[in-house]
Structures are given as C-alpha cells and as structure tokens.
C-alpha cells in the first residue's frame, strides 16, 4: 500500500513537471503597442444599460422604490421610441443627476458597483462580444471600454472582464466626495471619439490599426475614427451604415429584438436618467445616515 502511494506521488510530480514545461514552451505574447480595441458597453458588451442594472441593484437594497425604477425604465423606453435627443432635455437631466449625486462618496459608488456587477450584470455579458475582446488581448493588444456610464462603474466592468481599462463620464470629486459637477460633459457621441483620440495620443496608438465596436449609430464618430469598425447587435441606422461601408456585422442576439423596454439602452438621456435614479438612491442613503 505504501509503495503504491509513493508511486502515485511520483507520477503526480512527473505530471506536474511536464505540465509546467509545456506551459513554458508557449511563446510569450508580444505586446502590440500601437493597436488597441475600443468597446461600447450598453447592448454591445452587455445586454441592456449598465446604469439601469446598477439602479436595479440599488433598488434591491432599498435605496429607492420600485416605482422610481419603473419611471426610469419607461422614460428610457419613450426616448428609444422617439429616436432623437433633445439637447435641452439632456442638459436638464444631467444637471438634475449631478445635483443628486453631490456629496456622495466615490468609494461607496465603487463598492456598490462591484457588488451589483457580481449580482446583476455578470450574467448579462454577451459571450460573443467578450470573445471578440479576448482575441485582441490574445494578440497582445489593449482593450478599453468606452461608455457614457460613470467612469467608476465602467472601471469595475473592465476589471471584472480582465480588460485594460475604461473611458467613461467623469464626475468631479474633491477629497473623495462628488462635487456635483462634471469634468467636461457626458462621454457620448462625439465625446467618445475625442476620448479615444486623446488616449491614442497619450499611449502612442496608431488609430488606423485600432478597432472599435458598438451597437449604436450614436457611436459613428468613434467607429469612423479607427481603421477597423465593427457593428455589434446594431440598431437599424448603424446596420445600414455598416453595410454601405463594408464593416463587419456581429449579432449575438439570436433573433431577439435589439432593445426591449425592460432592458433600455443607454444613449445620452438614457445614461443620464440612470444617473438620476442612482443619484436619488445615494442621496436618500446619505440622508438616512445624517
């Protein structure tokens, strides 16, 4: 019996050494310093709007009512059906959201984002899009999320997916407390392209060698900036544009509608509405602590 045990131990040691040797035989991935991939989040990397799912997570914690969440969802659905963005509505919604979030702690938003991602968002990641991102990582390229979602939540998503990082809307903070002002504006539409362009300058990227992925025609400025644009789960306008310009189209929805009312997209107003819902919750939370 003792001899048999020693033989098993020896076999296990040999197997372990062989596995380690085989792993080291693989050629290390050479970093591709001039190419990167940029992925939109809502309905591209994740089903529905990330900020909406964040608001849902806050609702389950009793930080605001189901009625608040329902009103937010209906507001996004109406926005989607109208198919346009009123600049004045965006301005008012943005200012309202910022007023509510003022005074909240950045670390609390990050902590809640981590919890809610694990509980609500992880199962909503499109496996197909995640695989596309992994191909870039395997090729030694950096992969960034680019979203109107607050950068703190965007970073959580990027970290959980093992990506390089995230570009998101930046809310001003001092000493770890939100001031209630944005640094610039929402990272939406042309602002996404400006963020990618700025990152390319900082990181020495060749945009003609970079790739971008999105579901929305709102992201045409970003998609048109890079050498390789891909439409993922595209809306009708983006699908038509992609066909005209010969861009690849990837659809992981298996016949489902691009957007359901219960899973609203985040496009400008949608993202800010989510911020309002989250802001209301955080404001109620801090009032309760006073």
Q: Which one of 40, 215, 219, 235 is the catalytic residue?
A: 40
Neighbours of 264 (CB within 10 A): 26
Q: In 3D, which of 194, 233, 243, 197 has the Cα closest to residue 213? A: 233
Query: Does the active-site annotation cover 42?
Result: yes
Calpha distance 186→170 (Å, rounded) = 8
Query: Does the active-site annotation cover 118?
Result: no
Q: Which one of 32, 42, 108, 185 is the catalytic residue?
A: 42
Which residues have a catalytic role annotated?
Answer: 40, 42
């Amino acid at each position: 019996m003792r001899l048999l045990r020693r033989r098993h131990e020896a076999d296990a040691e040999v197997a372990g050494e062989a596995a380690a040797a085989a792993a080291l035989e693989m050629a290390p991935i050479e970093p591709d310093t001039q190419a990167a991939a940029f992925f939109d989040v809502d309905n591209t990397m994740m089903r529905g709007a990330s900020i909406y799912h964040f608001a849902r997570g806050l609702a389950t914690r009793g930080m605001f009512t189901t009625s608040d969440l329902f009103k937010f969802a209906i507001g996004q659905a109406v926005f989607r059906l109208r198919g346009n963005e009123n600049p004045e509505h965006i301005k008012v919604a943005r200012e309202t959201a910022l007023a509510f979030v003022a005074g909240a702690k950045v670390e609390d938003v990050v902590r809640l984002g981590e919890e809610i991602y694990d509980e609500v968002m992880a199962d909503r990641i499109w496996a197909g899009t995640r695989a596309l991102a992994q191909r870039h990582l395997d090729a030694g390229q950096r992969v960034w999320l680019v979203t109107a979602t607050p950068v703190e939540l965007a970073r959580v998503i990027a970290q959980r997916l093992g990506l390089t990082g995230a570009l998101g809307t930046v809310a001003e903070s001092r000493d770890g407390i939100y001031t209630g002002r944005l640094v610039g504006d929402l990272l939406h539409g042309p602002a996404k392209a400006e963020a990618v362009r700025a990152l390319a300058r900082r990181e020495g990227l060749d945009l003609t060698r970079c790739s971008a992925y999105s579901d929305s025609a709102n992201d045409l400025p970003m998609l048109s900036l890079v050498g390789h644009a891909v439409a993922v789960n595209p809306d009708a306008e983006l699908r038509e544009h992609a066909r005209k310009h010969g861009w690849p189209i990837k659809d992981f929805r298996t016949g489902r509608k691009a957007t359901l009312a219960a899973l609203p997209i985040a496009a400008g107003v949608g993202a800010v509405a989510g911020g309002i819902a989250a802001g209301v919750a955080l404001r109620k939370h801090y009032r309760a602590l006073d």
